[in-house]
Amino acid sequence: MASSILEALDIIANNITVIDTEIIPIEMSVGRVVTEDYIAIYDLPRFNNSAMDGYAVKVDDAGKEVTSSQVIYAGDNPTMTLEKKEAIKIMTGAPIPKGCEAIVPIEDMTLKDDLITLPLHIKQNGFIRMAGEDIQKGTIFLKKGETINAYTVASLASQGMTHVSVHRLIKVAIFGTGDELRPHFEKIADHQLYNSNSPMFLTRSKELGCDVRFIRTAADTLEALERSIQSTLDADIIITSGGVSVGDKDFTKVAFTNLGMNVLIDKIDIKPGRPTVIGKIDKTVVVNLPGNPLASMVNYELFVRAIIRKLSGKTDIYHNTLHTVMKNDYVLRGGKNAVVLGTFDGKCFKALSPQMPGMVSPMQKADGLVLVMPNVTKLEKNSTVSMIPIKWELCSNKQEELFTK
């Protein structure tokens, strides 16, 4: 029996296990997922410091004339104490001297001879960056399951941390099936086709941060498929396309089953892409996608991306949607859960037409997809739809409502 889309996503969330970890330099950690909470060793800033080039002053001296004879630079360790009717010139980032109650920016001062006239109103602690106002010592500044970006690295570096514990790269093995398929770099006969699916999955998996290898297309015999599978069982995910329907030479599911695959999902109630199988051989996740390019692309975006998120250790493993409106009318046959690919201009979703399971061109144009319930036969212009982005990620730590009804 076919699983619904939501059932399939729940099966993935509940049956895929997170991969193991490694410790790497923070400079190499962008895109990786942290395996533990990171607690601040130091306050940030570590000391009270000036937010402006200006003067350290007393609040009660507002509107008065004061004198100034000293300067504090960033990197200094000031030992003086600020007295009444005195101002100390201070540079941005420099430590605040004892007795200082506020910083007045240079542009707010009136200078005449050796005297400085302060503004009439001075705010207590004005333009002072307080110790710990950014990150407080002893608090969690990076949580388990978060993805590291360049600005995360800045936080780690601010704490003097040189290495970080992350989940290792996900290993993906990709091969196609079908005697008629040939690599895109070979000449082909009139009755043959180029294998567009495998290069697509290879580059998409790399784009999502995986360590990917390609296995030459397996011939449509049970023995050839089993040999290809055995050579990839060290991978975290094996992705195949084609050979999962009911044709005389569709051996893919049988070959994986013979090698001990526990089938988690046997067909998905989705159009296009129903003949999709997901299972496991020990810890290796097996994904058999349809041979039709657009159908396999849709199921990659919905289900393989969910598998990658779960394996990677992320906490926000579920798809989320962006609510927008239709730019055009789009008619559907109805009767099945359907996927509509379209472009998004920041304001509206425009359904691509035509978009058939065997097509390639709509995939390169699509910014997102809309899931449609079986009872929907038309998406009307200006009606509200829920779009799952393709070219960027919008995720949640819980299952969201994904369908446009």
CATH code at position 359: 2.40.340.10
Residue 354, in any domain of the structure:
yes
Q: Does residue 73 register a pLDDT over 90?
A: yes
Judgement on whether residues 286 and 354 belong to the same structural domain of the protein = no
Tell me whether strands 102-105 and 54-57 are parallel, antiparallel or unpaired: antiparallel
Residue 134, in any domain of the structure:
no
Q: Does residue 193 register a pLDDT over 80?
A: no
Residue 175, in any domain of the structure:
yes
Q: What is the pLDDT of residue 247?
A: 46
Residue 162, in any domain of the structure:
yes
Judgement on whether residues 362 and 375 belong to the same structural domain of the protein = yes
Cα separation of 78 and 358, whole Å?
Answer: 72
How large is the average pLDDT for residues 352-357?
Answer: 93
Last residue of a domain, one of 314, 330, 353: 314
Q: What is the pLDDT of residues 135-147, one digit of tens each?
A: 999 999 999 999 9
Dihedral, CA of residue 177, residue 178, residue 183 and residue 186, to nearest 10: 160
Judgement on whether residues 231 and 289 belong to the same structural domain of the protein = yes
Judgement on whether residues 261 and 281 belong to the same structural domain of the protein = yes
Q: What is the pLDDT of residue 248?
A: 39
Q: What is the pLDDT of residue 187?
A: 77
Contact 277, 265 (CB under 8 A): yes
Residue 137, in any domain of the structure:
no
Residue 138, in any domain of the structure:
no
Taking residue 170's Cβ as centre, other Cβ atoms within 10 Å add up to: 22
Q: Does residue 37 register a pLDDT over 70?
A: yes
Question: For residue 164, which phi and psi values (nearest 5 degrees)?
Answer: -140, 145
Confidence of residue 218 (pLDDT cuts 50, 70, 90): low
Judgement on whether residues 282 and 178 belong to the same structural domain of the protein = yes
Q: What is the pLDDT of residues 248-259, one digit of tens each?
A: 345 777 888 899
Residue range of the domain that includes 226:
5-20+168-314
Percentage of the chain exceeding pLDDT 70: 94
Judgement on whether residues 107 and 188 belong to the same structural domain of the protein = no
Judgement on whether residues 373 and 298 belong to the same structural domain of the protein = no
Q: What is the pLDDT of residue 241?
A: 85
Q: What is the pLDDT of residue 196?
A: 81
Q: CA of 120: how far to CAs of 55, 61, 85, 95, 226, in Å?
A: 15, 9, 14, 25, 84
How large is the average pLDDT for residues 348-369?
Answer: 94
Domain tally for the chain? 4
Q: What is the pLDDT of residues 226-253, one digit of tens each?
A: 888 888 899 999 998 876 444 434 577 7
Residue 197, in any domain of the structure:
yes
Q: Which two tokens stand for residue 384?
A: 């509200």
What's the per-residue H, E or C state across 284-324?
EEEEEECCCHHHHHHHHHHHHHHHHHHHHCCCCCEECCEEE
Judgement on whether residues 248 and 297 belong to the same structural domain of the protein = yes
Q: Which two tokens stand for residue 143?
A: 């949580």
Judgement on whether residues 294 and 196 belong to the same structural domain of the protein = yes
Residue 159, in any domain of the structure:
yes
Confidence of residue 179 (pLDDT cuts 50, 70, 90): low
Q: What is the pLDDT of residue 97?
A: 98
Q: What is the pLDDT of residue 216?
A: 72
Last residue of a domain, one of 129, 156, 184: 129
Confidence of residue 176 (pLDDT cuts 50, 70, 90): low
Judgement on whether residues 192 and 260 belong to the same structural domain of the protein = yes
Lowest mean pLDDT among 67-71, 184-188, 263-267, 358-362: 184-188
Q: Does residue 45 register a pLDDT over 50?
A: yes
Lowest mean pLDDT among 169-183, 193-207, 302-316, 371-385: 169-183
How large is the average pLDDT for residues 25-38?
Answer: 97
Judgement on whether residues 380 and 290 belong to the same structural domain of the protein = no
Judgement on whether residues 184 and 306 belong to the same structural domain of the protein = yes
- For 364, which DSSP code? H
Q: What is the pLDDT of residue 194?
A: 66
Q: What is the pLDDT of residue 245?
A: 47
